[in-house]
Amino acid sequence: MAKKATILITTVGPYSLYGEHAFKACAKNGTHYLDVTGEVAYVLEMIKKYEKIAKESGAIMIPQTGVDSAPADLVTWTIVSMIKERLSAKTREVVLSLHEFK
């Protein structure tokens, strides 16, 4: 399916169990991808595994477009906007730090 599509939007879940096949297929085939996961650890794993492949194929991968991730995205956007406007400073990237507790 990913070979035939321009964009794939998936709502399968839990993504940590069922999501990787679609993510991988889109990354490999240059198919743009959106999902609604709120599973941050899953997203981190997918980025580690497939970021290079997606860049090479031209696939735009956008996980976490759902309600679970919207508050964090909006807070990040607000902070970056304030840094640019109030401090006249540029920003380059936002880095997510994940810590696994065992």
Examine the pLDDT at 77 and tell me if it is beyond 90: no
Describe the chain by its helix, strand, coil percentages, rounded to 5.
50, 10, 40
Largest Cα–Cα distance of the chain, in whole Å? 47
Examine the pLDDT at 98 and tell me if it is beyond 60: no
Looking at 39-43, 66-70, 88-92, which range is the least confident one? 66-70
pTM: 0.70
At position 23, the amino acid (one-letter code) is F
Name every residue whose Cβ is closer than 8 Å to that of residue 61 and which is 6 or more positions away in sequence. 23, 26, 27, 32, 33, 46, 50, 51, 54
pLDDT digits (tens, 9 = 90+) for 8-20: 999 988 999 999 9
